Amino acid sequence: MIGRLNHVAIAVPDLAAAIATYRDTLGARVSDIVPQPDHGVNTVFVELPNTKIELLGALGAGSPIVKFLERNPEGGIHHLCYEVEDILVARDRLLAAGARVLGSGEPRLGAHGKPVLFLHPKDFLGTLVELEQA
C-alpha cells in the first residue's frame, strides 16, 4: 500500500540554525521557511536526489511538536512520510486493521497541497507516520 518515501521530518528548536547546518555544513539545497498555520509548524524542505528532509519548527503555543521538543531539546527525527495512491482507501484499510488515525480522521492538505493523515507512533514501531496522497 505505501509507496515512495516522501520525506523524513526533523523537529528542531531553532529553524535558522537547522537551515545553516543543512545549507552551509552539509551543502544541501534548502527552501525558504513556510508557515503552516493549519498544522502549527513552520516548514523548510531540504531537496535530496532521492527524497526530502522536512525541518519543522514550532508555530504557536499549541504546536503538535512542542511536547516532542520538550522531550528532545536538541531536536530529533519526528516522522516519516510515505506516499499512497488513494489516501481514503489507505485510511479505511488501516482503520480496519486496528490502527489509530490521528485527529479527526479526515485528510487535511499538507505542505505540498496534497491530502495527508497521521498514524499513531505506538501502532508503527514507535515512529509517527504521515501518509500523503501521491
The reply on whether position 49 binds ligand LP2KCY5N by CB under 6 A is no
Separation CA 94–CA 6 (nearest Å): 19
Smallest distance, Å, CB 57 to Co ion? Answer: 13
3-state secondary structure of 37: coil
Please say whether the beta carbons of 111 and 55 come within 8 A: no
The CB-of-51 to Co ion minimum distance in angstroms stands at 12
Identify whether 54 is a catalytic site residue. no
| Of the residues 8, 48, 99, 102, which one makes contact with ligand LP2KCY5N according to CB under 6 A | 102
Question: Which residue, 54 or 83, is less far from Co ion as judged by CB?
Answer: 54
What is the rounded distance in angstroms from the CA atom of residue 29 to the CA atom of residue 96? 40
Distance, CA of 33 to CA of 101 (rounded, Å): 28
The set of residues, in sequence order, having a beta carbon less than 8 Å from that of 87 and lying 6+ positions away, is 107, 115, 116, 117, 131, 132, 133
* Binding mask of the shown chain, residues 63 to 92, with x at each position contacting ligand LP2KCY5N by CB under 6 A: -xx-xx---------xx-x-----------
Residue ranges that bind ligand LP2KCY5N, judged by CB under 6 A: 9, 36, 39, 41, 43, 54, 56, 64-65, 67-68, 78-79, 81, 102, 110-111, 116, 118, 121-122, 126-128, 130
